[in-house]
Amino acid sequence: MSVADCDPVGYRDNFSIPAARLGRLWMTFSISPGSGWRFTRAEYLPALAAALFNSSEILTDTGRALVQQRTLHAVLAGAVGLLMIFRLRLPRATVLLAVVGDWFAYAPAAVLLALFTLAHQGQVRTARTVAALVVLIGAFTPWITGYPPYDALFFLGYLAEVIIFIVAPVAVGSYLHAGRVRIISLSEHTARLEREQQLLAKAARSEERTRIAREMHDVVAHRVTHIVMHAGSLQMNVGTRTPEWAAGQAELIRTSATKALEELHDILKVLRRGREGAVRLAPPPGIEAVVPLIEETRKVGLRIDYACDGEQRPLSAQLGQTIYRLVQETLTNALKYAGDAPVVVRIGYRPDRVDISVNSGPSAMTGDSGVPSGGQGLIGLTERVELLGGTVRYGPTSKGDFRFEASLPTLVTPPRDSGTPPQGRETT
């Protein structure tokens, strides 16, 4: 595994964990085995150094009686050191070879390399077990072989050898392995966070597209319905009404089209916001715009009875906008499917919620007004209500009316410019 495989983007600049630093230092030397009979420097250089160290230690030991015996042991110890070239590929076999070679020919450097490799590759428990076994064998070797003698000098020397050739390699190998594991863990954690961030961003984009689609549907459906109704009225009464009335209808059509273009332009600004930075948008209509909406719809010819009851209070901008869109969509549906029937709109303030009720009376119309419908209006209203934790019910009644009811909780603290609720009661 290379540094790029386990070091995420920016990790080297953002983390300063000692184990991770030491792990990156280790990874710089690329301790990895070769293939076949091709050995890497990390394999043959330490093995060659171990062979030279083992042989030199035995040849310079003047305490051994026979030169021939020292030479034979030096050759065997050197061979054991050279065989450590396989330690990265066969760590357990080489540690066994090192222990046996150290017993017969004194190969401490081979033991050091084998224990370090075993601990470094994650077999820490095995390395500790082998280390304890080597310490016990070394402690009883003088008693078995009779050389060297048991004295204070032997114990001091043996303690130093245990620390240098057994304890140190196991400790350093375990530490480097822990650093490597931590680097890989941090890398996987960073990659997982990046994937989660991508999923969240994708979900946010999808939610934003859905919200924009709802807004565009509400704007287009409501304004186009007004335009169609005004144009139909103008067409039907062009020969029976005065020119002033016709001019008024044309002005209403122009006003509705202008407002539709303005609202669509604001929505398009939101779509461009990601490329051009933040933009200033007009505040969305809230509950304070319900009365003007009703007055505007009355001009199309729809008879609306509106009332608001309960202790009126400021509402959050999101809640006020949702109430406005509910009333807007239900009035649009009434225009399209029951333009000649009376409509009753009720907004009721309760201690913990706001109730909205829109009832459209029986209609004598045999068909709709000719305005195309995508069938998404009520679905969009249901999504808006459920987004705020409310409930919605709609459908025909036994009297032939069509009734829409929604209940929205008022648990969100309203901002300063949330608007003023409509006052009083108006009936036509």
| Stated length of the chain | 428
Rounded Cα–Cα distance for residues 269 and 85 (Å):
68
| Closest by Cα among 340, 347, 365 to 404 | 347
Q: How many CA atoms lie within 13 A of 394 on its CB side?
A: 19
Boundaries of every domain in the chain: 3-197, 220-427
Inform me whether the pLDDT recorded for 407 exceeds 90. yes
Summarised one tens digit per residue, pLDDT across range 168-198 is: 999 999 999 999 899 989 989 999 999 999 9
How is residue 97 written in tokens?
């070879």
Confidence (pLDDT) at 387: 84
Rounded Cα–Cα distance for residues 289 and 421 (Å):
9
Inform me whether the pLDDT recorded for 8 exceeds 90. no
Mean pLDDT value across residues 187-211: 86
CATH class of 220-427: alpha beta
Q: Which residues contact 350 (CB under 8 A, 6 or more apart)?
A: 310
Inform me whether the pLDDT recorded for 167 exceeds 90. yes
Range list of H helices, 299-407: 317-337, 377-387
* 288 vs 279 pLDDT, higher one: 288
* 208 vs 371 pLDDT, higher one: 208
* 273 vs 58 pLDDT, higher one: 58
Summarised one tens digit per residue, pLDDT across range 83-106 is: 999 998 999 999 999 998 888 888
Inform me whether the pLDDT recorded for 29 exceeds 50. no
pLDDT-above-90 percentage for the chain: 25
Q: What is the DSSP string of 84-145?
A: GGGTTT-HHHHHHHHHHHHHHH--HHHHHHHHHHHHHTT-HHHHHHHHHHHHHHHHHHHHHH
Confidence (pLDDT) at 52: 93
Sheet holding 425-427, edge to edge: 391-396, 402-409, 353-360, 343-349, 304-309, 425-427
Confidence (pLDDT) at 270: 65
Inform me whether the pLDDT recorded for 307 exceeds 80. yes
Confidence (pLDDT) at 131: 92
Rounded Cα–Cα distance for residues 264 and 285 (Å):
14
With beta carbons less than 8 A apart as the criterion, state whether 322 and 288 touch. Answer: no
Inform me whether the pLDDT recorded for 67 exceeds 70. no
Confidence (pLDDT) at 360: 87
How is residue 86 written in tokens?
């396989």
Rounded Cα–Cα distance for residues 222 and 212 (Å):
15
Summarised one tens digit per residue, pLDDT across range 354-367 is: 999 999 887 766 55
What confidence category does residue 165 fall into, taking pLDDT thresholds of 50, 70 and 90? Answer: very high
What confidence category does residue 241 fall into, taking pLDDT thresholds of 50, 70 and 90? Answer: confident
With beta carbons less than 8 A apart as the criterion, state whether 16 and 175 touch. Answer: no
Confidence (pLDDT) at 22: 46
What confidence category does residue 13 fall into, taking pLDDT thresholds of 50, 70 and 90? Answer: very low
What confidence category does residue 259 fall into, taking pLDDT thresholds of 50, 70 and 90? Answer: confident
Rounded Cα–Cα distance for residues 194 and 167 (Å):
40
Rounded Cα–Cα distance for residues 23 and 21 (Å):
5
Residue 17 backbone phi and psi in degrees, to 5: -90, 125
Confidence (pLDDT) at 325: 84
Helix (H) or strand (E) holding 252: helix 243-276
Q: Which residues of 196-234 are buried (b: 16+ CB within 10 A; e: fewer)?
A: eeeeeeeeeeeeeeebeebbebbbebbbbbbbbbbebbb
Confidence (pLDDT) at 426: 38
